[in-house]
Structure 1
């Protein structure tokens, strides 16, 4: 079915208006910033954007503008922006988790060493006490005499 030049111009105007809305970030619920949503918003068959179809030049323009925005760091689709933000946040959290796990491992190793040192020191103290008790070489000194100065007897 052929369309008239006026209908084609009207369709192109609707496509360009929908393209501008999508690239500004006005995404309909359930849609994305893509050709499928563009076709739906402009009320045009999606196949008209591919191959040698009448609106393939508009698809190329849309993809070029979308890629230019992405390269500039602008993401018109809020879901894509959220996905990018969540991926970055996820990577940071993975780094923090790895650092925490490393710290836990180091502290666990230190705890094990500290307990081993304490056990060795306890064994040494017990050994020294047993040795001291078995030797019994302690000699008691006689009690000191008390004398009073200045008394004559």
Structure 2
């Protein structure tokens, strides 16, 4: 079915008005900032935006304007903005998790080294005690008892 030039102009004006609304972030409930929503809200068949169809130039204009907004850091679709924000958060959390895992690994290594050193020192103390016990020139001091000295009443 052919449409008249006046109907085509009217449709293009409706598409451009809808395009402006969508790019301002005025999305219908359940809609997105995409061609499907643009066609539905403008009351035009979506297939008319593809190939050599009558409104292909409007699709290109819409996509170009949307890309310019996105490059400027503006995302008219709140869900798309939320997705971008969540992806950024996930990347930051992954970085924090990697740093925490690295710290945990370093602390585990340090703990293992400290335990190995303590064990080696303990073995050295035991060896020195055995050597000292066998040497008659070494005099052992009496063990010190924990006493409370000088209690005042």
Q: State the TM-score, normalizing by the size of structure 1.
A: 0.83
Give the Cα–Cα distance (whole angstroms) in 2 for the partners of residues 18 and 90 of structure 1. Answer: 34
C-alpha deviation, 1:87, in angstroms: 1.3
SS in 2 for 1:100: helix
| Stretches of structure 1 lacking an aligned partner (at least 5 in a row) | 140-153
Structure 2 CA distance, aligned partners of 1:77 and 1:59? 17
The structural deviation recorded for 1:138 is 4.7
Runs of 5+ in structure 2 lacking a partner?
140-153
Q: TM-score, normalised by structure 2?
A: 0.83
Aligned residues between the structures:
139
C-alpha distance in structure 2 between counterparts of 1:41 and 1:34, whole Å? 11
C-alpha root-mean-square deviation of aligned residues, in Å?
A: 1.6
- Counterpart-to-counterpart distance in 2, 1:23 and 1:127: 81
In the superposition, relative to structure 1, how do residues 62 and 132 fare at CA in structure 2: closer, same or farther (>3 Å)?
A: same
Which residue is 2:28 aligned to? 28
Distance 2:8 2:97 in 1: 57
Q: How far did 1:129 drift?
A: 1.6
Match in the other structure for 2:92? 92
Q: What aligned pairs does 1:61-100 form with structure 2 within 5 A after superposition?
A: 61-100=61-100
Q: How does 1:1-153 map to 2 (within 5 A)?
A: 1-138=1-138
- State the Cα deviation string for residues 88-124 of structure 1 (Å, max 9, x = none): 1111111111111111111111100100111111111
